[in-house]
Amino acid sequence: MDMKDIMVRLTGRQINKDNEIDDDQIEFVTEGKAYKKDGSTYIVYEEGEMSGLENVKTTLRIGDDGEIRMKRFGRNVIMDTVMEFKKGKRFNSIYHTPYGSFEMEVLTNNIVNDIEPENLTGTLFIDYDIALKGLSESRSMLNIELMENQTAGTSSSAAC
């Protein structure tokens, strides 16, 4: 299994009740790893202060069937949190926070996967509705851009 050092740019936007994109957006760039395993693409990165999940590791599994599974774990997560995205499907789970656990439902509106399978760069876009029972309902758009990590200690060899 070859792991590739990458840069990950995440941009999250909320959509308001009038179907307009809110001005507030979360955007951060972090180093990560990408690899292929058993027909799926995996992206692993550390969350940052901007996401409010410092010291939390996120793993994305992008299946060949179009399903995306996001798993977060770390010191600032009471229990592993899992979200699954598949266009037109609902996913129910428990969302664990330091303030308690909440029933969560995710409905995926759309997924656009433009990640190049060979070099593991490109973009992944997820449009979804999320409801935390008794707490909030919102629509979110998550754009994940995978780029070559120019600062990583990777060696390249020229073909002779």
What domains sit in the chain, N to C, each tagged with a CATH number? 4-148 (2.40.128.20)
- The tens digit of pLDDT for each residue in 84-139 reads 999 999 999 987 766 778 899 999 999 999 999 889 999 999 999 999 887 788 89
- The tens digit of pLDDT for each residue in 115-125 reads 998 899 999 99
Question: Looking at residues 76-86, what average pLDDT do you find?
Answer: 77
pTM for the complete prediction? Answer: 0.82
Residue 136: Cβ-neighbour burial (10 angstroms; 0-12, 13-18, 19+): exposed
Cα 2 to Cα 5, 34, 48, 58, 64, distances in angstroms: 10, 9, 25, 19, 18
**pLDDT exceeds cutoff 50 at 159:** no
User: In the chain, at which residue ranges do the beta strands (DSSP E only) sit?
Assistant: 4-15, 21-37, 40-46, 56-62, 68-74, 81-85, 90-97, 100-115, 122-132, 136-148
Mean pLDDT of the chain: 83
